[in-house]
């Protein structure tokens, strides 16, 4: 029997570009019909964050056990903490025919690209590097040296753009969301995907 499998959508991009904001906006919109995969992390909850809703908050020991047991689709260490995507949730949701959305940093996204080559990879880019700098300064939490190192990192990450299928400039959150939704819709209509689906249906007759 033919079973439709969902599409794995990966949104990534440089630090400070606004991935989290875009993701949160997407999931407040009523027409968004893909599932957000809640990540695991070892970082402490920020004020207002809820375990099991924003993240699954884990100790380092718990996280390392998940790595050892191969329970993560991908993971990365970012600013001293682990972040990772639960494998079972992703597989079960895709198997149920629903699309899954990951919002992750670039090292993890590169791992997913290798494991799930038929996923949809979207790179969220800053309108310009100077704009990225403004945003980082705007946070008011980092000094100039840290900002400069973040800019250097962002430059490297921009070079990683070639791992992705689409680039969405985050000029304005609602514009970015609209583009992401349009990309997902178009991706479902891509000839290779449609053809594969019909061939599987015919073979499963």
Could you say whether residue 43 binds ligand 5GP (CB under 6 A)?
A: yes
Q: Which span (104-112, 166-174, 181-189, 193-201) binds ligand 5GP, by CB under 6 A?
A: 104-112
Per the structure block, which two tokens stand in for 82?
């682990």
If you write DSSP's letter for every residue of 61-88 in order, what string do you get? HHHHHHHHTT-EEEEEEETTEEEEEEHH
Establish if 58 lies at the interface with ligand 5GP (CB under 6 A).
no
Residue 56 found at the interface with ligand 5GP (CB under 6 A): no
- Work out whether the CA dihedral 158, 162, 165, 166 comes out positive or negative: positive
Which CB, 7 or 11, lies closer to ligand 5GP?
Answer: 11
Under the binding rule (CB under 6 A), the answer on residue 83 touching ligand 5GP is yes
* Stretch of 24-32, 73-81, 90-98, 182-190 lying at the interface with ligand 5GP (CB under 6 A): 73-81
Restricting to residues 137-176, which ones interact with ligand 5GP according to CB under 6 A? Answer: none
Residues with Cβ within 8 Å of 180's Cβ and at least 6 positions away in sequence, in order, are 11, 22, 26, 122, 168
Q: Report d(CA 113, CA 34) in Å as an integer.
A: 19
Residue ranges of alpha helices (H) inside 4-123 are 19-26, 60-68, 87-95, 106-115
Sign of the Cα pseudo-torsion (18, 166, 71, 95, in order)? positive
Among 39, 42, 93, 170, binds ligand 5GP (CB under 6 A): 39
> Are the C-beta atoms of 34 and 124 separated by less than 8 Å?
no
Decide: is 78 part of the binding site for ligand 5GP (CB under 6 A). Answer: yes
Q: Judged by CB under 6 A, which of 35, 99, 105, 157 binds ligand 5GP?
A: 105
- Binding flag, residue 103, ligand 5GP (CB under 6 A): yes
Asked if 76 is part of the footprint of ligand 5GP (rule: CB under 6 A), the reply reads: yes
**Residue 47 carries which DSSP code?**
T
- The site for ligand 5GP (CB under 6 A) is made up of 15, 19, 39, 43, 74, 76, 78, 83-85, 103-105, 108
């Amino acid at each position: 029997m033919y079973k439709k499998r969902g599409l794995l959508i990966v949104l990534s991009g440089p630090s400070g570009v606004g991935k989290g904001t875009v993701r949160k906006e997407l999931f407040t919109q009523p027409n968004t019909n893909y599932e957000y995969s809640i990540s695991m992390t070892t970082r402490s909850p920020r004020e207002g964050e809820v375990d099991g809703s924003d993240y699954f908050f884990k100790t380092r020991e718990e996280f390392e056990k998940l790595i050892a047991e191969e329970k993560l689709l991908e993971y990365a260490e970012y600013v001293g903490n682990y972040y990772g995507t639960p494998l079972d949730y992703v597989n079960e949701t895709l198997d149920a025919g629903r699309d899954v959305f990951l919002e992750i940093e670039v090292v993890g996204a590169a791992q997913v690209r290798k494991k799930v080559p038929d996923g949809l990879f979207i790179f969220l880019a800053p309108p310009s590097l100077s704009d990225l700098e403004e945003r980082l300064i705007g946070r008011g939490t980092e000094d100039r040296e840290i900002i400069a190192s973040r800019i250097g990192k962002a430059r490297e990450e921009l070079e990683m753009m070639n791992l992705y299928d689409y680039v969405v400039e985050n000029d304005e959150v609602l514009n970015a969301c609209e583009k992401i939704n349009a990309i997902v819709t178009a991706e479902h209509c891509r000839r290779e995907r449609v053809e594969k689906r019909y061939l599987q249906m015919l073979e499963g007759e």
